[in-house]
């Protein structure tokens, strides 16, 4: 086996390169902001372009390591689709917590819609489609290893959210926990439904409901973000904890011998 194709090296390179891409994306966005490219459409277009590139990269990796079936893109037949309904409680909560939507520009709304869809597909194809599937493929098919693959890829997903580190210690830890819990849920759903399209669109819908009131508001790199309190952070984790439990239950119910 070529050294670069050894599992630890593959995972290390994947996480490192993905982290660098996200850091460079933010650096470019901030540099353009500082020279006057500071509109909402310009900012979201940069992130949309990077997400498209990440989607292409994820598909290349999935094809290279022959993970199409595990990633849920080799067979479009839906199964256990009712399992996709549970996470809608997050969508409802996000909609309930929206502030007033002030922007009425349809171009901004369309860009936003395409952008959140690109978030869903880029993150799910990379973290669940490739990384989770790869970890399952290279390990012995046992329930313990399957849980490790799901939780491990979800935790890496959570850690990637530390790149900004602009919300204070409680806010950052909450974001890591939130992303990890959500990631475990999506990982479990993917194992039971084998449907990448479903979890990617569900991910996009959660982001749509969470970010809708930000349409038309450009990123301000000079803005000081208020730090979250410990109580607020713990409350968020309690609210989102059913996702972790749900994901673990689904993962443990998945029979390792039937995982493609």
- The pLDDT score that the predictor gives to residue 86 is 96
Which residue in the block uniquely carries the two structure tokens 């549970």? Answer: 86
**3-class SS shares of the chain: helix, strand, coil, % to 5:** 75, 0, 25
User: How many Cβ atoms from other residues are within 10 Å of residue 27's Cβ?
Assistant: 10
Q: How far apart are CA 247 and CA 58, in angstroms?
A: 23
User: Left if phi > 0, otherwise alpha if psi is -120 to 50, otherwise beta: which for 208?
Assistant: alpha
Show contacts of 46-49: CB within 8 Å, 24+ apart: 47/115, 48/111, 48/114, 48/115, 48/118
Q: How far apart are CA 160 and CA 156, in angstroms?
A: 6
Q: What is the pLDDT of residues 138-164, one digit of tens each?
A: 988 888 999 999 999 999 999 998 876
pLDDT class for 224, splitting at 50, 70, 90? Answer: low
Contacts of 102 (CB under 8 A, 6+ apart): 216, 217
Q: How far apart are CA 202 and CA 210, in angstroms?
A: 12
Asked whether residue 257 carries a pLDDT value surpassing 80, the answer given is no
Q: What is the pLDDT of residues 16-55, one digit of tens each?
A: 999 999 999 999 998 988 898 889 999 999 999 999 999 9
Q: How far apart are CA 92 and CA 128, in angstroms?
A: 24
Q: How far apart are CA 43 and CA 30, in angstroms?
A: 9
Q: If we measure between CA atoms, which residue out of 85, 83, 87, 65 comes closest to residue 74?
A: 65
Q: What is the pLDDT of residues 128-140, one digit of tens each?
A: 999 999 999 998 8
Tokens coding 129: 């489609």
């Amino acid at each position: 086996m070529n050294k670069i194709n050894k599992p630890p090296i593959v995972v290390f390179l994947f996480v490192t390169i993905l982290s660098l891409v996200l850091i460079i994306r933010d650096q470019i966005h901030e540099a353009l902001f500082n020279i006057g490219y500071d509109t909402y459409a310009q900012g979201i277009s940069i992130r949309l372009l990077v997400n498209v590139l990440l989607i292409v990269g994820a598909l290349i990796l999935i094809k290279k390591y022959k993970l199409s079936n595990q990633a849920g893109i080799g067979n479009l037949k839906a199964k256990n689709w009712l399992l996709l309904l549970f996470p809608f409680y997050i969508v409802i909560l996000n909609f309930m917590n929206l502030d007033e939507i002030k922007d009425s520009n349809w171009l901004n709304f369309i860009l936003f819609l395409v952008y959140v869809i690109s978030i869903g597909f880029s993150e799910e194809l990379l973290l669940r489609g490739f990384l989770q599937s790869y970890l399952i493929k290279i390990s012995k098919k046992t329930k313990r290893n399957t849980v490790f693959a799901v939780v491990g890829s979800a935790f890496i997903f959570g850690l990637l959210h530390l790149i900004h580190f602009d919300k204070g210690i409680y806010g950052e830890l909450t974001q890591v926990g939130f992303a990890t819990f959500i990631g475990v849920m999506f990982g479990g759903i993917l194992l039971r439904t084998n449907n990448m399209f479903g979890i990617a669109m569900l991910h996009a819908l959660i982001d749509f409901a969470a970010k809708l009131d930000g349409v038309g508001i450009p990123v301000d790199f000079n803005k000081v973000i208020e730090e979250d309190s410990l109580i607020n952070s713990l409350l968020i984790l309690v609210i989102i904890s059913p996702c972790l439990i749900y994901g673990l239950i689904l993962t443990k119910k998945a029979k390792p011998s039937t995982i493609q």
